Amino acid sequence: MAASFLTDISALPRRPEVTVIGGGITGLATTFFLSRHGIRPLLVERLPALSMLASRRSGEGVRAQWEKRENIDIARASIAFYRDFAEVTGVSAGYRPLGYLYGARSAAGAARLRARVERQKAAGLDDVRYLTPSEMHALTPTLAEDVTGGAVRQADGVIEVDRVIEGYLKMMQADILVAADLQAIIPGPGGITLTINGETLETGHAILCTAARLPAQLQALGIALPLRLARSTIQYLQLDAVPPDHPAMVDADLGSFWRPHTGGARMTASFRSTLFLDRFTDDPEIDPDYLRSAIDSVAPLVPFWRAHQHEIRGGHLRSGSLLVTGDGGPLIGALPGQPRLWVNSGYGGHGLMASPEGARRLAAMVAGAAPDIPFAPERFLNGTPIVPEPMTVNLSSAP
Ligand SMILES: Cc1cc2nc3c(=O)[nH]c(=O)nc-3n(C[C@H](O)[C@H](O)[C@H](O)COP(=O)(O)OP(=O)(O)OC[C@H]3O[C@@H](n4cnc5c(N)ncnc54)[C@H](O)[C@@H]3O)c2cc1C
């Protein structure tokens, strides 16, 4: 049975046992997995349509190349879920294992990649490979002559978020309320009272999947966790000459990213250009000259871009807010001291590639399973040593 869209709270057939706040990809995944436990959640989204913020502004890249074991595990399980998505939902997730190829042009960069592959293998990522320059060129002839080394995991690649949303909606049993702004949360012993568009709703459990708005909601509840907002930008461009099956590329020296996309590519100038924001915004600023800086940062490793840049037929920019945690890992679990108030958020720049498994675990916890220790929000408050994930933005990289 598919999801039902309601027009207002009064149309709800019953008090929801579980209410999920936030209709981005994380909230949708959470609702989907809850409904697989026989729960019929209410999903509440502030905007008039689902997944209009970061979730529809991403590179749609999925990779298990991380350094920390828990991040490898959550991404690898999520990628396998997307691979098998059609069997579960009847809709393909558009997963294409293009491979994620990290390349270096400096001796130090190649040495760092080689050492990282060893650490990844020790952490359980058994299908990542270090590549010599000749192996790199054999894999991808577009690379610069002076490549010094690389790393690849072939099962990493891309998905299509529109198809994933379609599959979730088709298979979830849930009521969905859009243009519905959660304004207040009052936890009680037997349930949670929510204020939505000025109306009061009683629910058994509430799950916050609100990303950029989570810090303000936690502040109102008196809960302090190490969180910051950052922005990331992606350039979509149309260029017929882009090889459609080219691996997704990361320049390990410069931090740039690009991947093929139907009739062109998407690129991000440099992860180091991810900027921390000091105020809340759904629509961070974009640099009008972004295409030039993006080409400048991808062309050294892949000279194809310098040779073909004049053939670019068009494109557009998307920029979104990301919620970044102290260690770069998500928050999955009950909020400290609040057994009926849960969070599934803080995925930073990797919410598409990690949210299926994160949502599966969160739904199991709401249904009674034990907490997921590595991602429990408590980790920031109970003295657990915080080790940042080196391969993503985290608060150790904040100014
Ligand atoms: C440029 C860019 C490139 C990226 N590339 C990748 C990539 O290649 N791979 C990858 O895995 N990830 C990528 N990401 C990150 C990914 O997009 C995010 O991690 C993911 O979309 C987060 O999903 P979310 O559902 O948690 O948050 P969001 O998509 O931000 O959704 C949160 C939702 O909560 C709603 N909400 C908030 N407050 C309320 C309220 N009070 N009441 C009701 N609803 C509320 C919002 O309106 C919103 O719809 C990228 C992001 C950007 C910006």
Distance 55 CA to ligand 1 centre (A): 4
Per-residue tokens: 292: 């030039």
65 Cβ inside 6 Å of ligand 1: no
46 Cβ inside 6 Å of ligand 1: yes
- Residue bearing the CA closest to ligand 1, atom 53: 320
Looking at the CA of residue 50, tell me the nearest atom of ligand 1: 49
pLDDT at 274: 61
76 Cβ inside 6 Å of ligand 1: no
Count Cβ atoms below 10 Å from residue 311 Cβ, excluding itself. Answer: 11
**Phi, psi for 149 (deg, rounded to 5):** 170, 170
Distance 190 CA to ligand 1 centre (A): 30
Architecture of domain 4-57+162-226+327-397: 3-Layer(bba) Sandwich (3.50)
Gyration radius from the chain CA atoms: 21
Distance 386 CA to ligand 1 centre (A): 24
54 Cβ inside 6 Å of ligand 1: yes
45 Cβ inside 6 Å of ligand 1: yes
Q: Write the DSSP symbol of residue 51.
A: S
Place of tokens 């139907």: 262
pLDDT at 279: 81
Identify how many contiguous H helices and E strands the chain contains and give both numbers: 10, 21
Looking at the CA of residue 354, tell me the nearest atom of ligand 1: 11
333 Cβ inside 6 Å of ligand 1: no
- Residue bearing the CA closest to ligand 1, atom 16: 351
User: Do the Cβ atoms of 115 and 263 come closer than 8 Å?
Assistant: no
**Which residues, including other chains, have CB under 8 Å from residue 347's CB and lie 6 or more apart?**
26, 211, 322, 323, 330, 354, 355, 358
pLDDT at 371: 86
Architecture of domain 98-157+228-322: 2-Layer Sandwich (3.30)
Model-wide pTM > 0.75: yes
From CA 183, how far away is CA 232, in angstroms rounded? 27
Please report the DSSP string for 198-264 in residue order.
TEEEEESEEEE--GGGHHHHHHHHT----EEEEEEEEEEEE-TTS-TTPPEEEETTT--EEEEETTE
List the Cα angle 123/128/132 in 5-degree steps.
125
332 Cβ inside 6 Å of ligand 1: no
**Phi, psi for 239 (deg, rounded to 5):** -155, 110
352 Cβ inside 6 Å of ligand 1: yes
User: Do the Cβ atoms of 124 and 64 come closer than 8 Å?
Assistant: no
From CA 18, how far away is CA 6, in angstroms rounded? 16
212 Cβ inside 6 Å of ligand 1: yes
Question: Of 55, 183, 218, which is best to mutate to test ligand 1, by the most ligand atoms within 8 angstroms of its C-beta?
Answer: 55
Distance 53 CA to ligand 1 centre (A): 5
How far apart, in Å, are the Cα atoms of 294 and each of 254, 273, 332?
A: 11, 11, 34
| Count of alpha carbons within 13 angstroms of residue 387, beta-carbon side | 6
**CATH code 3.50.50.60 region(s) in the chain:** 4-57+162-226+327-397
Burial class for 274, CB neighbours closer than 10 Å (0-12, 13-18, 19+): buried
392 Cβ inside 6 Å of ligand 1: no
Distance 311 CA to ligand 1 centre (A): 32
pLDDT in tens, the chain (399 residues): 689 999 888 888 788 999 999 999 999 999 999 999 999 999 999 999 999 999 999 999 999 999 999 999 999 999 999 999 999 999 999 999 999 999 999 999 999 999 999 999 999 999 999 999 999 999 999 999 999 999 999 999 999 999 999 999 999 999 999 999 999 999 998 999 999 999 999 999 999 999 999 999 999 999 999 999 999 999 999 999 999 999 999 999 999 999 999 999 999 997 655 688 888 888 888 888 899 999 999 999 999 999 999 999 999 999 999 999 999 999 999 999 999 999 999 999 999 999 999 999 999 999 999 988 899 999 999 999 999 998 887 777 666
298 Cβ inside 6 Å of ligand 1: no
**CATH code 3.30.9.10 region(s) in the chain:** 98-157+228-322
